[in-house]
Amino acid sequence: MEKTVRIDKWLWAVRLFKTRSQATDACRSGKIKMGDDPVKPSRDLKPGQIVSVHMGVMTKTVKVVDVLEKRVGAKLVPQYLEDLTPAEEYQKLELLRENPFARRKGRPTKKERRDIDQWFGWDDE
């Protein structure tokens, strides 16, 4: 019999989520998919399956190398998952880091408005 584990437990154990309840909530909200189908937190996971995790602006794709139920140290994670995420997904994060105004919420201050105008080249007018 092949070894299986709940997907929410595995996602937490390989450190894709900080807490198991966050992994469970991500499953319930449709952010975790196998193929094109969203999965429930109780779905059994087997080695060799591909899992897509929508995290913020990027979608991380991983292959299950081995299953485990207990959380492991960060150095041991590569024994249990293989990262198949395309480079374009990581470039989305880089673009977000490069743009200083991407995380801004609310109305900009006068200085921030001037910086935005300079950033986009609108200050030439």
Residues 60 and 17 in one domain: yes
Residues 47 and 100 in one domain: no
Q: In what order do the strands lie in the sheet with 81-83?
A: 37-38, 32-34, 50-55, 58-64, 81-83
pLDDT of 100 strictly over 80: no
Residues 35 and 80 in one domain: yes
Residues 93 and 112 in one domain: yes
What residues make up the domain containing 69?
A: 1-85
Higher pLDDT, residue 112 or 20 = 20
Nearest to 63 by CA among 85, 39, 43: 85
Residues 33 and 81 in one domain: yes
Residues 80 and 95 in one domain: no
Residues 39 and 55 in one domain: yes
Model confidence pLDDT, tens digit, residues 52-85: 999 888 899 999 999 998 999 999 999 999 999 9
pLDDT of 101 strictly over 80: no
Residues 123 and 80 in one domain: no
pLDDT band at 117 (very low <50, low <70, confident <90, very high): confident
Residues 67 and 35 in one domain: yes
Q: What's the pLDDT score for residue 1?
A: 66
Higher pLDDT, residue 97 or 61 = 61
Residues 12 and 66 in one domain: yes
Joined together, the tokens standing for residue 44 give 């059994």
pTM summary value: 0.77
Residues 124 and 67 in one domain: no
pLDDT of 29 strictly over 90: yes
Number of independent structural domains in the chain: 2
